[in-house]
Amino acid sequence: MNQGNCVRIAIILILLTTLALGAAGITVSGLHWPLTQGALITVSLYGLVLVAGMGLLTLVTVLVLTLSSQQRALQQSLDAQMDQQRGLVLVQLTERFVHHAEALLEKESLDPNKRSVQRCLAVDALRGNSGRSDPNYQRLGRLFEWLAEEEAAQDDASSKRLFEPLLRHYAEIADQLCRINETDEKRLEAFLRYQPQVKQSGEETV
């Protein structure tokens, strides 16, 4: 219900209340027609009091509704600004993760063949090798754990949705880090829920 409808309903209620009070006052007073001069003065004063009261109540009601509407608009504006600031912070956070992750993945590994870290990681995960104390693997593991913790710290669905494309994109690498025991699945659960479950080789096919 918008402010205009609220004001109209409030004015109608005040008018009906004023009329009811006026009718009740006349009934209780026991006045009879024709009115004497003293009774006419009394009724006139009573009517003026009712009209003044109705005007004052209408003014106060309109003022309260206006202030309430302005307060709601201000609160909505503040909430929108907070959401925008939170979104900017999360964007900067994810951009920092991508920057560091890609820098690590593009580095030359300690592997004698000087392949990229991403290729070495994929090979080691496929063969079931351990991390071999490669500092690049260790840094990747800590970096992925950090982003997973940041995602878990978000308390609203809209913020978590900002992480989804990133988690989905790096889900396979997170799975490879777990396979070489550089980290564990519980820590990277945020990534792994976007990693398709690979069927076991021994599973029977229909």
Alpha carbon distance 193, 167 (integer Å): 9
Q: Would you say residue 115 lies in a domain?
A: yes
Q: Are 102 and 117 in contact (CB under 8 A)?
A: no
Is residue 56 in a domain? yes
Whether 68 and 143 map to the same domain: the answer is no
Tens digits of per-residue pLDDT, 109-151? 666 666 788 888 888 888 888 867 788 889 999 999 999 999 9
pTM: 0.61
127 and 177 assigned to the same domain: yes
Q: What is the pLDDT of residue 202?
A: 41
Q: For 105, what's the count of Cα atoms within 13 Å in the CB-facing half-sphere? A: 18
DSSP 5-53: HHHHHHHHHHHHHHHHHHHHHHHHHT--SSPPHHHHHHHHHHHHHHHHH
Q: Is residue 60 included in any domain, yes or no?
A: yes
198 found inside a domain:
no
> Does residue 203 fall inside a structural domain?
no
- For the chain, how many structural domains are there in total? 2
Which of 18-22, 39-43, 103-107 is predicted most confidently?
Answer: 103-107
Host domain of residue 117: 107-192
Classify residue 138: in a domain, yes or no. Answer: yes
Identify whether residues 114 and 177 lie together within a single domain. Answer: yes
The token pair at 28 is: 């209780």
pLDDT-derived band at 170 (thresholds 50, 70, 90) equals very high
Specify whether 160 is located in the same domain as 111.
Answer: yes
